[in-house]
Structure formats: C-alpha cells, structure tokens
C-alpha cells in the first residue's frame, strides 16, 4: 500500500513539474501577431490554417501542449493555453442519430442528418434531449420525435468521418461535411475567444467566436 501511494505521489509531482515547465515556456515565448502558430508547424497546422484563412477567419491560434495534457485539471489546461477561463475550454464530439429513418444515411441534409458534431464546454454537461427537441422543431414536426436519438458515435466512426483521432477532433477541415451544433453558452462567452481540439491530440485551436460562427455556420442551441 505504501509503495502504491508513493508511486501515485511521484506521478502527481511529475505531472505538476511538466505542467509548470509548459506554463513557463508559454510565458517567456515572444508574443506574435494573430494568427499564432507553433514553432513546429505541422502539416495539420498548415492545412487547417489555410482552411480558416480561406473562410475569412483571421483571429485564431494553434498551441502545442504536453503529451499528458488530458491528465491535468482544467485550471492547469486553461493556464497553459492562456484561456480566459475554464469555461472557454471546449471539445467537439461526433453524435449519431441511432433512430434515423432507413433512408437517412449521411450528412447531406443538415436539418435531418445521420451525424452531427456538437461543440460543448468541458465544464458543461451535454443535454442530448435539448438537441433532440431542437431537431424536431427544426423539421417543423414533420419527422416524428422518436426518429431523433442522438448518441456518441463509435470512435472508429468518428475517425472515419472526421479524419481526427479521439481528443483531436475539430470541426474545421473534417473529411466529411458534418453539420455542427454549437452550445449557446459558448456563443455567449466573454471575451469571445474559445479553445477546442486542433486536429492532433497534443494540438489545440483557439478561435474568435464571431469569426467561427460566420465561417462554420453552426446551429446555435442551448444544449447543456
């Protein structure tokens, strides 16, 4: 028992040291004008940056994080990204409508799609029923409510549709044009600059909310 406790404490200390190093590195790097790109600009960063720029998005930033980033508490993640609050830390999840009609197989109809990408805050609890009710209303009640049942898509399906691994999913540059639903709480954040996955597990994307809305054109739904 004592050995297990000592090992756990050592791991905690190691994670804290790595976090502090990341924060220190962030604090001493010279500021650059937006958009901000990591020094080790990858093919993903280049591709997504080009997509964002072509869509009129100018205020965005990519940030490389430590491999154990997801072991950190939200406050530590906020600190290393320079986010305004933990509420500004968001994630993109792929949902599948498990009760869609047999003829609904893809994302060609954004009002009645087989799949949706939902962007929610890490601090929020996703409400699938809110999305169900929204889609029912969006279709003016012409589709029975029982035909909407949004569930987390299997990881292999998410990867196939987006081209991004778990913890790397972003709604920019996906392989498939999946309709996006943005939680209304994110649209109301002040300041209006939030963070989400950046296409690689250790890469995060920060973006100006107003520009994100103009480019992605998501459904803005209170779903948390």
**Residues 112 and 100: beta-carbon distance below 8 Å:** yes
Q: Report yes or no: 171 and 33 within 8 Å, Cβ to Cβ.
A: no
Confidence of residue 29 (pLDDT cuts 50, 70, 90): very low
| pLDDT reading at 81 higher than 90 | yes
Tell me how far apart the alpha carbons of residues 173 and 183 are, in angstroms, rounded to a whole number.
20
Cis link prior to 130 (omega < 30° from 0)?
Answer: no
Half-sphere exposure of 91 (CA within 13 A, CB side): 18
The per-residue pLDDT for range 178-223, each reduced to its tens digit, is 999 999 999 999 999 999 999 999 999 999 999 999 999 999 999 9
Which residues lie below 8 Å from residue 175, measured CB to CB, with a gap of 6+?
160, 161, 162, 163
- For 96-155, the pLDDT digits (tens) are 999 999 999 999 999 999 999 999 999 999 999 999 999 999 999 999 999 999 999 999
Q: Please state, in angstroms and as integers, the Cα–Cα distance from residue 9 to each residue in 3, 34, 73, 94, 182, following that order.
A: 10, 39, 16, 35, 39
Mean pLDDT of 74-80: 97
pTM of the model: 0.84
For residue 79, give the H/E element and its range. Answer: helix 74-81
pLDDT, residue 108, reads 97
Tell me the C-alpha distance between 168 and 153, whole Å: 15
Mean pLDDT on 37-48: 81
E strand or H helix at 119:
strand 115-121
Taking residue 151's Cβ as centre, other Cβ atoms within 10 Å add up to 11
Please tell me the distance from the alpha carbon of residue 114 to that of residue 77, in angstroms, as a whole number: 33
- The confidence score (pLDDT) of residue 33 equals 42
Structure letter (DSSP) for residue 108:
S
Mean pLDDT in the chain? 90
pLDDT of residue 16: 64
């Amino acid at each position: 028992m004592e050995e297990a406790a000592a090992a756990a404490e050592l791991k905690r200390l190691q994670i804290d040291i790595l976090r502090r190093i990341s924060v220190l590195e962030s604090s001493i790097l010279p500021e650059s004008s937006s958009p901000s790109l990591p020094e080790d600009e990858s093919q993903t960063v280049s591709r997504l940056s080009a997509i964002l720029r072509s869509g009129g998005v100018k205020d965005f930033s990519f940030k490389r994080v430590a491999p154990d980033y997801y072991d950190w508490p939200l406050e530590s993640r906020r600190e290393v990204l320079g986010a305004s609050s933990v509420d500004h830390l968001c994630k993109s999840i792929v949902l599948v409508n498990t009760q869609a009609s047999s003829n609904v197989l893809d994302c060609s109809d954004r009002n009645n799609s087989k799949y949706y990408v939902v962007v929610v805050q890490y601090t929020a609890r996703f409400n699938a029923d809110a999305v169900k009710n929204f889609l029912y209303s969006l279709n003016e009640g012409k589709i029975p409510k029982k035909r909407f049942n949004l569930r987390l898509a299997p990881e292999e399906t998410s990867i196939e549709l987006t081209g991004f691994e778990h913890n790397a999913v972003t709604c920019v540059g996906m392989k498939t044009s999946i309709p996006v639903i943005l939680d209304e709480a994110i649209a109301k954040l002040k300041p209006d600059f939030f963070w989400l996955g950046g296409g690689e597990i250790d890469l995060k994307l920060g973006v100006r909310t107003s520009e994100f809305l103009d480019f992605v054109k998501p459904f803005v739904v209170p779903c948390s």
